[in-house]
Structures are given as structure tokens and as C-alpha cells.
Amino acid sequence: MTIHTPEANPTILNDLCDPMFGVYDAESEIDPELGASCTGPYVATAFTAMTEVKMDKNSNYWGGEPAIDHIELKIMDDVDALNMALQNGEIDMIAQLPAASASLFSDTDTYTIGAATSTRSQFLQFNLESEALKDVNIRKAISMCIDREGYADVVFAGYAKPSYGIYPDTLSYGGTDGINLSVDKYDTEAAKALVEAAGYTPEKPLELKLVTYSYNTGLLQMTDMLQPELEAIGIKLSIETYDVLDDVLQAGNFDIAALSYALAPTGNAQYLINMLFASDGTDNYGHYSNSDVDADAQKLETTFDTSERDAIVKDLTQKVVDDCPDAFIASQQLLIVYNNKVTGVDVNPSEYYLITNTLDIAE
């Protein structure tokens, strides 16, 4: 197969290995309920939004016939119910196990916990249309009140690393080496001084609304930790949770959004940059705009040399850190737990490729 692109594309290999890049038969009829069946090892037979997907094996799978005939994927918002479902045998595996639940499955005779360092990070996105948050010092004050070390150690039970930059240090362009950080520790006293300079006190607080996912226990715990810290320095934070955040974010009906993204699922820094930091980014719900950041994003579109690309990303990181449109909190490990009847599990840092043709289960 030969692929022709309209112009030179330095990330074509990353793009081709993106799990969201699908190949399907354009001449076949597409099921209006289930969508197109592509080249994966399983074919959807039933789908209920936010509840479950039922799948049968694709006997014509190019990589070899899958070992399991039928797989069901279930969405369970209640973490306690999810844990109990694995413990009582109702399910066989939990994908993206909350770190706080890991201790429940420490019996290695019964369970296996697979872990891989991913590029997923939790972060706050500030709405720069919010009058008070146009002040970079208010944004930095909020960032200073995040106990990143405590969050990584307590909420993630050590399965995460605090983040003061953007990308994790496992990536060649990640980490904070060479970056001048204006927020480099948990410092409520410095935060209080910035808030007071802006005219707010615990007696006369700044009121802000934070929105987040109703089902992300880690972020819910983080916001619960953050709320009293902000109140003590003169910021009154109300928290609203939603099953689906998209409409709220697109409408701009928030001051702060607590989010969780995979930052570079194929290793390409542009994935996040074009979504979050470019002025026209698809997920730039906070309306951040910096012409120098946009210029760096454009340079990446035509730069092939890896070291040059890394240098551009580092430069962009410095500019974003200075502006603080987002406050990155922690880079987490991907945890998957399964009972020992399950074999052929490969925990992939991209967070995809879990349901493979090698996955099997003993009767």
C-alpha cells in the first residue's frame, strides 16, 4: 500500500499507529446502531450508551482468530460496585483500576495487577473568559494550592508522579529539566499573598465554579482536597459533577474544569498541543491564545528532525507554563487488574489494545 499526503507530514507514522485510525470496507453497509465494523479482533453485536458493549470474535481477523468467542464490556460508575463485581466473579477484569482500589487485589494467588506508565495526566483548565481568571497570578495561586505530592501518594497510592510541567519525563520532550517554573511546589502562603494582592480574602472571597466528571474518583478526591485549601486563602470553590462534560465545556459554563487526558497516546506531542494550546484547539475550552505558542505549533507541522521537534516542544512548554492556562497535577500509571483465569493480557501505555486476539480465559 502506498500513502500519498498533500504535503510533507513529519508525524505520519504516529498517525498511522493511532488506535483511532480505522480501516473499514467503504462499500459495506454501516449499521446505524453499531457503526462500522473495522479491522479489530471483535465485532460489536449490541451497544447501550454508557452501559455496555457486547462483541463476538472476528473470525477473519488479520492477526489470527481470537481465543474468546464473546466479550462484554460494562461501564460501572460506582467504584465499590465495580470492585465487588470482580471479587464475586461477576466480571473478570477491571480496566483502568483506580489506584485506591489496588490494595483490595493484593492476593497474587487470585489476582494479577498489570501496570504501565502512561501519558495520562490530571489537570485543571482555567476559563480565561472568566474575569478573575484573566489574572495569571490568580491562576498560579490556585496551582500553588494543589498538593501534587500528596495527591500522587495518597489518591494514587504511589501509582503516579507529581507534574509541574506538561508532559511526563518518560517522553524525550517531557519533564521540567530546562524549564523555569513559577510554580514548583505546594505553597499556600505564596498563593495567599497573590490572592490578597488581587483584593480577595477569606472574608471577601472570590467565588469560582469547578466542573468535573462524576465518575472519576481520583479527580473527585483531588477537588475535595483543593476546596478547603482555596477557601483558606480567599477563594470559595463550588464543585459540580457531570456524567458527560462536553456540553458544559463547549458552552463555557465553568470557571475551572478538572480533566483527565492521555497527553501523547502515540508519542506525538502535537496531539495535545493542537487540542489544548493552539488558539483554535478543539479542546481549548478556556480560550487560551498566545501567538508565540501558535507559531511553535506551526513549526512542528513541518519539522522532521526529532531533536529539533523536542526543542520546539520544550520552548512551547516554557511559554505555556509561564501563562498557566492549565495546571497539570500528576502523570499516572495505567492499572489493570484481572483474575488469574485470564491470560494473554498486555497492558499497553497507549491505553488501547487491551481487547486483543491473544486474550483468553480458562473455563
Q: What is the pLDDT of residues 79-119, one digit of tens each?
A: 999 999 999 999 999 998 988 899 999 999 999 999 988 89
The predicted pLDDT at position 39 comes to: 87
The predicted pLDDT at position 278 comes to: 98
Residue 61 grid coordinates? 481477523
Residue ranges of the chain assigned to CATH 3.10.105.10: 122-328
Judge contact between 254 and 247, C-beta under 8 A.
no
DSSP 3-state assignment of 35? Answer: strand
The predicted pLDDT at position 293 comes to: 99
Out of 3.40.50.300, 3.30.470.10, 3.40.50.720, 3.40.190.10, the CATH code matching 12-117+333-361 is 3.40.190.10
DSSP 3-state assignment of 14? Answer: helix
DSSP 3-state assignment of 115? Answer: strand
Residue type, 337: V
The contacts of residue 39 (CB under 8 Å, 6+ apart) are: 22, 23, 24, 61, 62
DSSP 3-state assignment of 81? Answer: helix
The predicted pLDDT at position 3 comes to: 86
Judge contact between 280 and 251, C-beta under 8 A.
no
Residue 189 grid coordinates? 502562603
The predicted pLDDT at position 169 comes to: 92
Residue ranges of the chain assigned to CATH 3.40.190.10: 12-117+333-361
Distances (CA, A) of 64 to 33, 342, 362: 27, 19, 19
The predicted pLDDT at position 80 comes to: 94
Residue 90 grid coordinates? 461477576
Q: Which CATH class is domain 122-328?
A: alpha beta
Residue 25 grid coordinates? 470496507
Q: CA-to-CA distance for 188 and 291, rounded, in angstroms?
A: 32
pTM of the shown model: 0.83
| Per-residue pLDDT reduced to its tens digit, 173-204 | 999 999 999 999 999 999 999 999 999 999 99
Residue closest to 73 by CA, chosen among 40, 102, 49, 89: 49
Residue with cell 520532550: 173
Which residue positions in the chain have pLDDT lower than 70? none
The predicted pLDDT at position 31 comes to: 87
Q: CA-to-CA distance for 189 and 194, rounded, in angstroms?
A: 9
Q: CA-to-CA distance for 197 and 160, rounded, in angstroms?
A: 34
The predicted pLDDT at position 19 comes to: 73
In degrees and rounded to multiples of 5, residue 178 shows phi and psi of: 85, 0
Angle made by CA atoms 277, 333, 51, in degrees to the nearest 5: 85
